[in-house]
Amino acid sequence: MSLEQILKKEYLNENLQAKNKNEALDELADIVIKGPLKLNKLQVYDALLQREKLGSTGIGDGVAIPHGKIGNLEKVIVAFGRSKNGVAFDSIDGKPVHIFFLLLAPENSTSQHLKTLAKICRMLKVDNFRKRLMAAESNDDLYEIIIEEDKEHPNP
């Protein structure tokens, strides 16, 4: 599945204001509840928080991939947030997080959830991709950069 199918332009925020993990999760939840799926913010936030209790989704190099499962969701969705200042997120390397990919999946979709998570991880290993995301000037630019990079990483 391509990210173009599950990442919508309205699911991007180029200017997160959060200073800590809880604020970042709250802002990321805001992104998806404003979309067309009419998700419950508390349910989204709680799913993300429960996953963080298992271990930080801050994977290093200024990147975090918070994710969770939602009962009433029909398909995987992805959202994106960027913090120019960085967020204290308990990352494995101890550094602030600037790039967030949020992944929400239906409770029963382990396969698609893991494939999407793996794809995003592969994309984020590309140093130039992270630099381009940080340099983008608008949500439209961010969307184009993400979709372009996604096409370079087809599903295995």
SS3 156: coil
SS3 70: strand
Which of 53, 9, 14 is CA-nearest to residue 134? 14
**Calpha distance 2→16 (Å, rounded):** 25
- Among residues 67, 98, 113, 153, the one annotated as catalytic is 67
Question: What does residue 95 show for φ and ψ, rounded to 5 degrees?
Answer: -90, 155
67 catalytic residue (yes or no): yes
**Calpha distance 128→32 (Å, rounded):** 27
Tokens 């996604």: give the residue: 150
Cβ contacts of 97 within 8 Å, gap of 6 or more: 24, 58, 62, 63, 64, 83, 86, 87, 89, 91
Residues serving a catalytic function are 67
